[in-house]
Amino acid sequence: MTQDILAIHGGWHGSWVWTKLTPLLIAQGFRVHTPTLVGMGETATVYRHHPYSKLGVSDHVRQIEEYIRLNGLEQPYLVGHSYAGAVLNGVLNDMGHQIRGALFLDALFFTPGVDFAHLIAIKHPPAWCSHKIKSGTHPFCRCQLDPPSLG
């Protein structure tokens, strides 16, 4: 049986980020899936002024879960880069028993009780972080991290 790998790109990217890796994995006998998260990559301009432009992690979690179901993926490996780590957390929380394994590739990883603002504060001084979050000038402030497993 051919094993599925579902690779999820990071924020502001698209499925194109996997174009060099995909043929290498296929050559090893894997079936590779690289969906673009809605509102990102090649779909970004479509959703920029759309009423549903306030897409968040929970929307992307649902998208990936639906992708797994609609494509009949059985026990896939998940790979998440950067922002997609948050998506993987949500998918694993909801359907971890249906996932063979997950690779967080330089990705966000949330533990219980830690939210996104805390992760930003680790890297940036609290005053800077607070100003950026309140002013909305930090790009991640627009992410809605709302699944229960995210903090």
Provide the domain count of the chain: 1
Across the chain, mean pLDDT equals 78
The confidence score (pLDDT) of residue 12 equals 83
**Is 147 a domain residue?**
no
**Is 75 a domain residue?**
yes
Q: Residue 35 sits in a domain of what CATH number?
A: 3.40.50.1820
Kindly report whether the global pTM for this prediction surpasses the value 0.75.
no
- Report, as ranges of residue numbers, the positions in the chain whose pLDDT lies below 70: 44-54, 110-151
Q: What is the pLDDT of residues 31-46, one digit of tens each?
A: 999 999 988 877 766 6
Of the candidates 37, 31, 34, 40, the one whose C-alpha atom is nearest the C-alpha of residue 17 is 34
**Is 82 a domain residue?**
yes
**Is 139 a domain residue?**
no
**Domain that includes residue 49, residue range:** 4-110
Burial 59-97 (b: 16+ CB within 10 A, else e): bbbbbbbebbeeeebeebbbbbbbbbbbbbbbbbebeee
